[in-house]
């Protein structure tokens, strides 16, 4: 009965997201997503890809990553540096807000200042790295400027960091995740109201290709074209992000209810890959395996390293990957995927060794360590969820009891924020060209994901930012990943190549892990 009810609800949800129909002479496209959207406010944006994409359709970033993993201009004409500490941002001359006001360097400065104001700070930005910002990432409330940010002219500003920062890291962090806001609209709004301000639900001045038309964040966001978008008016009048159960993705593509699935925001179940590929009305688009199923162990709660090591040795990751993913996945240790320029085969993969895991558990238990853990799993990842069920059963046989809690992505992020987890796993796509930003976020300082830090990994990450030789940078990441093997605060379950799909009626659209929406204004209907 529960399964039947979930299917009925999923079908109803699929239909509810599509009820917003365009007139006969207006074009409408439905994008299927499998996670709810936590917010449409750039200042409250978390690190999830769905929030990033849903929000950046309205407020653009300085640069964005394309499908070839290059950072390409959006609002910025260029971001450059000569010493990895002083960065020059040039805003493109043709960049304008929807009301015709030019987008300026002052807008960029204003956005970064808001990102560090404790009343509305954006936790997705590493503001702590900028000169004049505290190590906690904040400035004085209501400050108008930051020491390390200087406006040179209306289209140019400079940013100084406290320590060396690779250009790729600066572009990935500040370039991609600082969604620029209109100073001329928001400068007089009380900052302590910005995180919950209703204006962000229906902003009337935007930089992106689409206005927000209507939304229910649990079910859909409907967008309407910005006819004054500076890169060209979108050919598609209405764009809809519809939350759909993964089990309904296949039928949605088949019926035409779904026009596009992007690999990191829409999870097509692995068991449906072949069926999607066989659809005559759809082009299936496999991606390079870049999405890592990362298992985060909270060292503040799982304090005995032997228990963490037992988790690494006690999971038959290779066998599970071969059985459940086949050619669509691979197994690695640590953070980096083979597509990263800094991936090293020297690391190897820790072999499955249940006997060693059992010994470690017994030793830790004899010394008083808890052998009962809670593992939070994303509800959107059905195949991985099945793998965790199997792993838990195997662990119980060797003395470790795992209590599984399956929650949706938004609640999973809340679990992280509150540090409730012993173990937590989620698909995590690190930008292969810039692993630093996410790794430093996940294990550096006071990370809520793992609570882990060490002088060796801190030093290696810091040194990676001042080097330019790829082989030397790879060596520093090797130090970090070897620490993951030894201390096991992070374990890679597997790396998966996600499947995207696009309807044959939709032209100029190519779903990929990165860059899917870069040319959304050029999408059109056959």
**pLDDT digit string (tens) for 362-379?**
999 999 999 999 999 998
Please compute the mean of the pLDDT values over residues 274-286 and round it to a whole number.
Answer: 96
Quick one: three-class SS letters along 296-323?
EECCCCCCCHHHHHHHHHCCCHHHHHHH
Q: Does domain 63-191 have CATH number 1.20.1250.20?
A: no
- For the chain, the structural domain boundaries read 2-58+208-287+499-525, 63-191, 291-496
- Give the pLDDT confidence score for residue 125 in this predicted structure: 87
Please compute the mean of the pLDDT values over residues 253-271 and round it to a whole number.
Answer: 93
DSSP helix/strand/coil, 478: helix
The reply to whether 63-191 shares the fold of 2-58+208-287+499-525 is: no
For residue 396, the cross-strand partners are: none
Backbone dihedral angles phi then psi of residue 331, each to the nearest 5 degrees: -120, 135
Distance spanning both ends of the chain, measured CA to CA:
42
* pLDDT exceeds 80 at position 7: no
| Tens-digit pLDDT profile for residues 184-217 | 999 999 999 999 999 999 999 999 999 999 999 9
Quick one: three-class SS letters along 183-196?
HHHHCCCCHHHHHH
How sure is the predictor about 12, in pLDDT bands with cuts at 50, 70 and 90? Answer: very low
Distance in angstroms (rounded) separating the CA atoms of residues 80 and 503: 39
Residue with tokens 């807000």: 97
Q: How far is CA 157 from the centre of its chain?
A: 27
Bridge-based pairing state of the strands 372-378 and 423-428: parallel
| Tens-digit pLDDT profile for residues 19-50 | 455 555 689 999 999 989 999 999 998 878 89
Q: What percent of the chain has pLDDT over 90?
A: 81
- Give the pLDDT confidence score for residue 21 in this predicted structure: 53
Residues 416-449 as b/e (b if ≥16 CB within 10 A, e otherwise) read beeeebbbbbbbbbbbbbbbbbbbbbbbbeebbb
Please compute the mean of the pLDDT values over residues 77-93 and round it to a whole number.
Answer: 97
- Give the pLDDT confidence score for residue 11 in this predicted structure: 43
Q: Which residue, among 248, 265, 222, 240, has the nearest Cα to 29 in the 3D structure?
A: 240
Distance in angstroms (rounded) separating the CA atoms of residues 115 and 60: 15
Please compute the mean of the pLDDT values over residues 111-122 and round it to a whole number.
Answer: 96
- Give the pLDDT confidence score for residue 2 in this predicted structure: 34
Q: Edge-to-edge strands of the sheet including 86-91?
A: 76-81, 86-91, 156-160, 149-153
**Helices 354-366 and 305-313 sit at what angle, rounded to 10 degrees?**
160
Are 510 and 268 in contact by the 8 Å Cβ rule? The answer is no
| Tens-digit pLDDT profile for residues 125-147 | 889 999 999 999 999 999 999 99
How sure is the predictor about 326, in pLDDT bands with cuts at 50, 70 and 90? Answer: confident
Residue with tokens 């390293």: 305
Q: Render 376-394 in DSSP notation, one character per residue.
A: EEETT-HHHHHHHHHHHHH
Q: Which fold has domain 291-496?
A: Dipeptide-binding Protein; domain 3 (3.10.105)
Backbone dihedral angles phi then psi of residue 398, each to the nearest 5 degrees: -110, 15
- Give the pLDDT confidence score for residue 6 in this predicted structure: 38
Average pLDDT of the chain, as a whole number? 92
Largest pairwise CA distance in the chain? 73
Q: Which residue, among 415, 330, 317, has the nearest Cα to 357 in the 3D structure?
A: 317
How sure is the predictor about 4, in pLDDT bands with cuts at 50, 70 and 90? Answer: very low
| Tens-digit pLDDT profile for residues 143-175 | 999 999 999 999 999 999 999 999 999 999 999
* pLDDT exceeds 90 at position 82: yes
- pTM, to two decimals: 0.84
Q: Which residue, among 151, 156, 150, 135, has the nearest Cα to 62 in the 3D structure?
A: 156
Q: Which fold has domain 2-58+208-287+499-525?
A: D-Maltodextrin-Binding Protein; domain 2 (3.40.190)
* 469 Cβ neighbours under 8 A, 6+ residues apart: none
Distance in angstroms (rounded) separating the CA atoms of residues 109 and 32: 35
Q: Give ∠ CA 27-29-32 in degrees, rounded to 5.
A: 170
Please compute the mean of the pLDDT values over residues 498-525 and round it to a whole number.
Answer: 96
Q: What percent of the chain has pLDDT over 70?
A: 95
* pLDDT exceeds 70 at position 298: yes
Distance in angstroms (rounded) separating the CA atoms of residues 65 and 62: 11
How sure is the predictor about 252, in pLDDT bands with cuts at 50, 70 and 90? Answer: very high
């Amino acid at each position: 009965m529960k399964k039947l009810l979930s299917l009925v609800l999923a079908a109803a949800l699929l239909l509810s997201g599509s009820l917003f129909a365009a007139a006969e002479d207006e074009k409408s496209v439905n994008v299927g997503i499998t996670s709810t959207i936590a917010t449409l406010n750039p200042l409250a944006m978390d690190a999830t890809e769905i929030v990033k994409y849903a929000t950046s359709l309205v407020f653009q970033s300085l640069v964005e990553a394309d499908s070839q993993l290059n950072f390409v201009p959006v609002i910025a004409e260029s971001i450059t540096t000569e010493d990895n500490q002083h960065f020059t941002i040039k805003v493109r001359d043709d960049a304008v807000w929807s009301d015709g006001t030019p987008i300026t360097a002052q807008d960029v400065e204003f956005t970064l200042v808001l990102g560090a104001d404790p009343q509305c700070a954006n936790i997705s930005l590493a503001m702590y790295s900028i000169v004049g910002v505290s190590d906690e990432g904040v400035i004085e409330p209501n400050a108008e400027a930051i020491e390390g940010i200087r406006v040179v002219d209306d289209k140019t500003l400079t940013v100084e960091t406290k320590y060396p920062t690779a250009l790729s890291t600066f572009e990935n962090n500040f370039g991609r995740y600082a969604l620029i806001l209109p100073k001329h609209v928001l400068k007089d709004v009380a900052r302590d109201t910005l995180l919950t301000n209703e204006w962000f639900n229906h902003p009337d001045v935007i930089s992106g290709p689409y206005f927000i038309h209507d939304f229910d964040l649990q079910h859909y966001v409907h967008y309407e074209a910005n006819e004054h978008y500076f890169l060209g008016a979108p050919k598609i009048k209405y764009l809809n992000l519809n939350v759909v159960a993964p089990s309904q993705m296949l039928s949605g593509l088949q019926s035409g209810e779904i026009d596009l699935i992007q690999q990191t925001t829409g999870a097509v179940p692995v068991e449906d890959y072949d069926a999607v590929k066989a659809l005559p009305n759809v082009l299936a688009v496999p991606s390079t395996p870049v999405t890592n199923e990362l298992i985060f162990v909270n060292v503040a709660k799982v304090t005995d390293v032997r228990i963490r090591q037992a988790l690494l040795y006690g999971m038959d990751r290779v066998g599970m990957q071969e059985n459940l993913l086949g050619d669509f996945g691979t197994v690695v240790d640590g953070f980096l995927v083979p597509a990263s320029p800094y991936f090293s085969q020297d690391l190897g993969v820790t072999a499955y060794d249940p006997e060693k895991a059992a010994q470690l558990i017994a030793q830790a238990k004899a010394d008083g360590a808890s052998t009962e853990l809670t593992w939070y799993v994303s509800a959107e990842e059905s195949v991985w969820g099945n793998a965790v069920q199997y792993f838990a059963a195997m662990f119980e046989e060797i003395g470790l009891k795992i209590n599984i809690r399956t929650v949706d992505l938004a609640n999973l992020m809340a679990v992280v924020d509150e540090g409730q987890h012993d173990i937590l796993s989620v698909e995590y796509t690190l930008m292969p060209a810039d692993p630093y930003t996410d790794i430093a976020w996940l294990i550096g300082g006071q990370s809520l994901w793992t609570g882990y830090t060490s002088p060796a990994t801190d030093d290696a990450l810091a040194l990676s930012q001042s080097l330019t030789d790829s082989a030397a940078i790879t060596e520093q990441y090797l130090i970090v990943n070897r620490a993951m093997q030894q201390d096991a605060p992070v374990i890679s379950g597997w790396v998966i190549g996600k499947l995207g799909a696009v309807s044959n009626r939709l032209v100029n659209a190519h779903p990929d892990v990165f860059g899917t929406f870069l040319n959304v204004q050029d999408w059109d209907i056959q």
